Structure 1
Amino acid sequence: MKKRFQAFTRAHGLDGFMVKSLAVALVLAVIAAICLGRLACVQLLEGRATAQAATNARTAKIVSSANRGKILDANGTVLAQSVERYNIIGVPDSATSFTPVACGSKQAESLGYCHEIDGKPVGATGAAAVARLLAPILKMDAMELGAMLNGTGQYVVIKKDVTPQVKRQIDKLGLYGIVYGELSSERVYAENTLLGSLLGGVNDEGRGAAGLEQTLDKTLSGTDGYTVYQRGNGGEVIPGTVTESKDAVNGKDVTLTIDADVDWYVKKVLTEGVKSSNAQWGIAVVLDTQTGGIVALEDSDQIKAGSDEAKLSVSRAVSQTFEPGSIGKVPALAAILQNGAHKITDKFTVPYEYTKSNGQKFHDAVEHETKHWTLAGILQNSSNVGMVMASENVTSQQRYDMLTKFGIGQPTGLNLPGESQGVLGTPESWDGRTKDTILFGQGYTVNALQLTRAVSVIANGGVMRQPSIIKSVTDADGHVTDETHGEATRVIDEGVSNEIKNAMESVAEEYKNTASVNGYRVAAKTGTAEVVGSTGQLTSIIADFSGIIPADNPRYVVTVVMLDPDGMYGGTTSGKLFAQIGEFLMQKYEVPTSTPRTDAIPVEW
């Protein structure tokens, strides 16, 4: 082979140098051919994929967060809203190659910004320099910040929920492509303790975690939007590269029937009343009889809306159940009258103590001589004995049916978080004593909302309105949907209702020194019930008072409940708080004063 090559070169007059040159040229030609082949492959076969990969590297999808809807009171006062906040995001890949711009340099002059700390050079480069610049603004440790940014990757959350002011300070640093703000929001609430547990709170993802925030979560939550675009090296949008976008749709605003002014005053009255009477707790409800709207719903617990405690608690005003005591005489009297067992004017001779044929013994709360009372007088004097005597011809089923018609043991329909419907046994479960104790509010339990709804039947002429706490819902386009309930169910005849209201007005006159409202007639019923205390024995007292004001033109039902107040009796304890709340309502809403009472049903004979 070698001899043939030498013969070839001699025959063509090629010397050694020319041979080497030809060899080099051949090698170069091969290399050029390979390069041209690869270029053709990239351009013709892989060009589209390569271009797409480059586009993908530049393409970003930015989510635009929807705002959570507001919760407002009946007058438009904001109780809960989401405010603009930013999550500060770092890009470690860019931070590690950062070099501060020296102030006074030509680079600073051309860029329009420079980097220094307290008038001095940053004194570092890379992630450490970025951390030193950010730490004072974010009020974070520079070493901790540096560790977060010293690595690889395109996304690390440095700090959540900073204010727009802080975000603007960071923007002025000129850390483009290294640190930026991602729009977020924070839920804030009006008044530290206003409706704390009832409003509840949201979790870290901004979803309802407790209270109304949870039950209304679907209504309040919006739908996030997004924008797809190509970005430059500094993270800026390249003009004309937006390929897809969808606007965020904010959540709906919910307006409650609650009047924040009234609720605030009720909270104040409860807090002061519980403290002054050394009670364990207090609850109050204000219901508008004309609309069924809950105007105030408070308890004495001091829980801040949105707090961890609010997220772990339920409102005592809806969850706490208790035996109502003598307020239970209202539906019991309705059963007597509606079923025709007696008339409101029927006369009774009522001893302090009474023993039934089955051996069950009953007595009144206060010892007294044998009295001559009408049925109206039995209610006025809150006689347990009188109620047992007057109910002899009312069957257990009739008693039960009337209680359920008044909403005892039934859900209120408000669907409030943590709401308990209480306990009401069936007639089959009643023993020989319970069938009579239910006549004076013992042997079953209610919450304050149920008790208020029951008394509202009398205020509404024998009709039960479905109570509401949601007034309306407004969507992102401003369309308003009325959420109040128009349903109403007749429970007893209007004439029967008016007779009971008349008797309840006589009850209120017994407490004119503690529970009256100057210029306004009141129809009310008090209650005092022994309940189980901390020892498991009947050592505690529920003292409650529920009244209709004005009695001659009902506008509101106000119920106040306290546990273990000094003074014990509902009329002289919770009744005082009723009077304060009632006076405030009459003044705030400018309710006309009452006409004189001229139709009182006789209470004695």
Structure 2
Amino acid sequence: MGFLKAFARRHGLDAFMMRCLAIGLVLAVVAGACLLQLAFVQLLQGSATAQAATDLRTSRITIRSNRGRITDTNGVVLAQSVERYNIIGIPDAASAFTPITCGSQKAKSYGYCHQIKGKPVGATGAAAVARLLAPVLKVDALELGAKLNGDGKYLVIKKNVTPAVKRKIDKMGLTGIVYGELSSERVYAENTLLGSLLGGVNDDGEGAAGLEQSLNSTLKGTDGYTVYQRGNGGEVIPGTVTESQDAVDGKNVSLTIDADVDWYVKKVLTEGVSSFHAKWGIAVVEDCQTGEIIALEDSDQIQAGSDKAKLNASRAVTATFEPGSVGKVPALAAILQTGAHTINDKFTVPYEIDWNGQKFHDSTEHATMQWTLAGILRNSSNVGMVMAGKDVTPQERYDMLTKFGIGQASGLNLPGETNGVLASPSSWDGRTKDTVLFGQGYTVNALQLTRAISVIANDGVSRRQSIIKSVTDADGHVTNKVHDEATRVIDEQYAKQIRNAMESVGEEYKATAGVDGYRVAAKTGTAEVAGSDGRLTSIIADFVGIIPADNPRFVVTVAMQDPDGTYGGITSGFLFAKIGEFLMQKYEVPNSAERTDAIPLEW
């Protein structure tokens, strides 16, 4: 203090001038500090500060891809994604938003302005954005404003709005603050068509069940993105798109299923289960010339995409059962192929026999009959099959069953599909080694049973089944997915002989399972299965037919649990006839020639 007074006396300065000098010194110090800070920022932190500002202005927008469609063999859409949008907000941009007053110079320059019912918005920031959006999205403005009031870069305001709503938002002048992110809603064919088989997707659009799940990697697309900078009002700054990647849509999948046939099969099953008071029914239609599955249905009323569809696999691929007498077909193939007997060999067949310490009998009591091997199949004699199979070893019986596809995966890779149960011959007990000759002691699903009979339809050749016809990518390239693998199982002559004997079975059930104008080769089955009490108190009645028998085109399998009438020929066979008639009309199959080559059944 003494120094200042001495300085003032020496220079003749009064108190006022001293105060001015002090203030000047303080200002000089402050200015110097500012210059030093400016130099520090510009020279040492300039790059980092500029980058931070750029990052604050930069937005990355996801461009959603579309999930591929699932169609039937004729292009009928079974599952598709319709255009929807998730409305996304950028809170930090919303917080900086200032509405453009209508009539202002800025409004004329930008070509748009903001107002609500002809009046000013009356707010700025997140509240203003919320007031503009609320009427269009039908949400509460106060709640929306609270959500937008922050510094985040991504907020889902509302999901799955229609394109019309998105277009309204696009015209509101909120670019860089609010945008529509392409989403989708998965919709399916009506009337529960292929409900559980198609399955459904989850909230993220990923396959959650059925074909949607197993084909997810094919149907799912790849999202794209755009990176750009925005101004203080949230608008995109021209020329600032620094990075972008187009979305790639998922591939479209065409099934071998014919929607018309599948719909009719569903109708027949639903009505049949009701009229026969059955617990359920399932059916498969296969084009035996190609192995393509034309229809695959069950009587369950489950809509594709529903919670039930996501929790329940299709009964047509999950249900397993003993084939019953339909299993005599691969057993007869083993007898013929090994040379144990010929189709014309003669047998004296009683109703019941004691065989290696085991008793076997036929389903209905009869006198001792004189049947050929063809007659044994025609009359579905368990006793006759045991007698005829005497010289066929357990290993040969097992090998033939596996060649017919029993116990083997179909290769369709359908969710929930079961392989059934076929134990190795080393584990067969003294009874099972013979019951396999008439379809007991192992289990199958409907697809396996259809494939087994298609071997006979194809003159002894097993074709791999297909349910995917083709896949088309986003560029329109089509890849054929129908399998062309074929393996000879038995000699052609034996397959034709078995089909001849099966045609005699078809003639027996002509009144209930016949199709006017067409020859049918068929086999019926009735097998006990576990009921709700765990005991063998339920019945599976099945019927598998080849139509036309003289020029095979389709194999049709129908099975019901606990139908009134019990036996497959008069229950499931009745449904077969309806399906067969529809197939012949739809595909305009020529009428059959008269049968002239029936193998003798008796001697």
| TM, length-normalised to structure 2 | 0.93
1:517-561 deviation per Cα after TM superposition (whole angstroms, max 9, x unaligned): 111111110111121111222211101011111111111111001
Aligned to 2:373: 375
Return the alpha-carbon distance in structure 2 between the equivalents of residues 20 and 234 of structure 1.
47
Give the whole-Å Cα distance in 2 for the aligned partners of 1:115 and 1:108. 15
Out of 321-330 and 170-179, give the one that drifted further: 170-179
For residues 100-125 of structure 1, what are the alpha-carbon distances to aligned partners after superposition, in whole Å with 9 as ceiling and x for unaligned?
89999999998455213xx9998998
Equivalence for 1:215: 214
Q: Which residue is equivalent to 1:395? A: 393
Q: In the alignment, what sits opposite 1:114?
A: 115
The answer to whether the Cα contact below 8 Å between 1:515 and 1:572 also exists between their aligned partners in 2 is yes
* CA distance in structure 1 between the aligned counterparts of 2:47 and 2:141, rounded to whole angstroms: 45
- Deviation (angstroms), 1:25: 2.7
Residue of structure 2 in register with 1:323 after alignment: 322
Equivalent position of 1:443 in the other structure? 441
String of CA shifts for 1:216-245, please: whole Å, max 9, x gaps: 111112211111111123433211001111
Instruction: Give the deviation of 1:192 after TM superposition.
Output: 4.2
Q: Decide whether the 8 Å contact of 1:547 with 1:559 is kept in 2.
A: yes
The question of 1:34 aligning with 2:8 is answered no
Q: Distance in 1 between matches of 2:385 and 2:553?
A: 29
Aligned-pair CA distance for 1:63: 1.1
What is the rounded CA distance, in whole Å, between the counterparts of 1:93 and 1:503 in structure 2? 80
Deviation at residue 158 of structure 1 after TM alignment:
2.5
Q: Is the 8 A contact 2:175 2:236 kept in 1?
A: no
Aligned to 1:201: 200
Whether the 8 Å contact between 1:177 and 1:233 is mirrored in structure 2 is no
User: Of residues 516, 519, 522 in structure 1, which corresponds to 2:517?
Assistant: 519
Q: Secondary structure at the match of 2:511?
A: coil
- Partners of 2:96 and 2:233 within 8 A in 1: no
- CA drift of 1:207 comes to 1.3
Deviation of residue 152 (structure 1)? 5.7
Q: Give, as a single letter, the amino acid of the residue that structure 2 aligns with 1:80.
A: A
Match of 2:87 in 1: 88
1:337 alignment partner in structure 2: 336
Match of 1:273 in 2: 272
**After superposition, what is the alpha-carbon deviation per residue over 1:486-513, rounded to whole angstroms, capped at 9, x for unaligned?**
1111110000000000000111000111
Matched, 1:484 2:485: no
**Relative to 1, partners in 2 of residues 1:536 and 1:67: Cα closer, same or farther, differing over 3 Å?**
same
- Tell me the SS of whatever aligns to 2:513: coil
Letter aligned with residue 116 of structure 2:
H
Query: Is the alpha carbon distance of 1:61 and 1:126 closer, same or farther for their aligned partners in structure 2, counting shifts above 3 Å?
Result: closer
CA contact (8 A) 2:89 2:155 kept: yes
**1:71-470 map, 5 Å:** 71-92=70-91, 111-112=112-113, 114-116=115-117, 134=133, 137-140=136-139, 145=144, 148-149=147-148, 153-172=152-171, 179-356=178-355, 358-470=356-468
In structure 2, do the counterparts of structure 1 residues 231 and 152 end up closer, same or farther at CA, with 3 Å as the change threshold?
Answer: closer
**In structure 2, C-alpha distance between the alignment counterparts of 1:588 and 1:331, rounded to whole Å:** 31
Kept in 2: contact 1:565–1:573 (CA 8 A): yes
Code of the residue aligned with 1:535 in structure 2: it is D
User: Against the structure 1 CA distance between its residues 296 and 462, is the aligned structure 2 distance closer, same or farther, given a 3 Å change threshold?
Assistant: same
Q: TM-score w.r.t. structure 1 length?
A: 0.93
**Native 8 Å contact 2:83 2:184 kept in 1:** yes
Aligned-pair distance for 1:288?
0.9
Identity %: 76
Mean Cα displacement is larger for which, 161-170 or 523-532? 161-170
State the AA in 2 paired with 1:361. K
State how far apart, in whole Å, the 1-side matches of 2:191 and 2:22 are.
90
| Distance in 2, Cα, partners of 1:186 & 1:433 | 56
* Aligned CA distance change for structure 1 residues 402 and 6 (closer, same or farther; 3 Å): closer
In structure 1, runs of 5+ residues without a counterpart are: none
Task: Give the 3-state SS of the residue equivalent to 1:443 in structure 2.
Answer: coil
Paired residue total = 601
- What amino acid is aligned across from residue 532 of structure 2 in structure 1? S
In the alignment, residue 223 of structure 2 is paired with which amino acid?
Answer: D
Provide the residue aligned with 1:532 in structure 2: 530
Name the amino acid aligned to 1:546. Answer: V
Map of 1:499 onto structure 2: 497
- Secondary structure (helix, strand or coil) at the match of 2:48 reads helix
**Which of these residues, 523, 541, 544, is aligned with residue 542 of structure 2?**
544
Worse-superposed segment, 568-577 or 180-189: 180-189
Q: Deviations over 1:461-508 (max 9, x none)?
A: 101011111111112211111111111111100000000000001110
Equivalent in the alignment of 1:556: 554
CA displacement at 1:144 relative to structure 2: 5.2
- On the 8 A contact 1:456/1:464 being kept in 2, the answer is yes
Give the superposition deviation at 1:458. 0.3
- Equivalent residues of 2:97, 2:234 under 8 A apart: no
Q: CA deviation at 1:6?
A: 4.9
| Alignment gaps of 5+ in structure 2 | none
Aligned amino acid, residue 326 of structure 1: S
Q: Distance in 1 between matches of 2:585 and 2:188?
A: 27
Q: Does 2:510 align with 1:509?
A: no
Q: How far did residue 370 of structure 1 move?
A: 1.9
**Counterpart AA for 2:78:** L
Pairwise CA distance, 1:42: 2.4
Check 1:43–1:147 CA distance in 2 against 1; reply closer, same or farther (3 A cut).
Answer: closer
- Deviations 1:377-424 (CA, angstroms, capped at 9, x unpaired): 111111111111111111111111111111111111111111110001
Distance 1:601 1:84 in 2: 62
CA contact (8 A) 2:176 2:230 kept: no
What secondary structure, in the 3-state scheme, does the structure 1 residue paired with 2:78 have?
strand
Q: Retained in 2: the 8 A contact 1:102–1:115?
A: no
8 A Cα contact 1:277 1:565, kept in partner: yes
Measured at CA, do residues 144 and 305 of structure 1 come closer, stay the same or move farther in structure 2, by a change above 3 Å?
Answer: farther
Q: Counterpart amino acid of 1:340?
A: G
Q: Distance in 2 between matches of 1:513 and 1:496?
A: 28
Partner of 2:601: 603
Q: Structure 1: how far apart are the matches of 2:290 and 2:478?
A: 18
Q: Distance in 2 between matches of 1:182 and 1:339?
A: 66
Letter in 1 for 2:250: G
Secondary structure (helix, strand or coil) at the match of 1:513 reads helix
Cα 1:304–1:342 shift into 2, 3 Å: same
Q: Determine helix, strand or coil for the equivalent of 1:514.
A: helix
Q: Kindly tell me: are residues 63 and 604 of structure 1, through their superposed partners in 2, closer, same or farther at Cα, counting changes over 3 Å?
A: same
Change (3 A) 1:528 1:23: same
The whole-number CA distance in structure 1 between the counterparts of 2:16 and 2:264 is 109
- 1:562–1:165 Cα change, 3 Å: same
SS at match of 2:569: coil
Separation in structure 1 between the aligned mates of residue 114 and residue 147 of structure 2, nearest angstrom: 25
Aligned to 1:584, the other structure's residue is in SS state helix
Contact 2:351/2:365 (<8 A) preserved = yes
Do the aligned partners of 1:207 and 1:214 also contact (CA within 8 Å) in 2? yes
User: Are the equivalent residues in 2 in contact too, given 1:352–1:367 (CA < 8 A)?
Assistant: yes
Between 119-128 and 12-21, the greater mean CA deviation after superposition: 119-128
After superposition, the Cα gap between the structure-2 partners of 1:566 and 1:140, relative to the gap in structure 1 and judged at 3 Å, is farther
- What code does the residue aligned with 1:40 have? A
Distance 1:137 1:16, change over 3 A: closer
State how far apart, in whole Å, the 2-side matches of 1:603 and 1:145 are: 83
> Is this contact kept in 1: 2:224–2:246, CA < 8 A?
yes
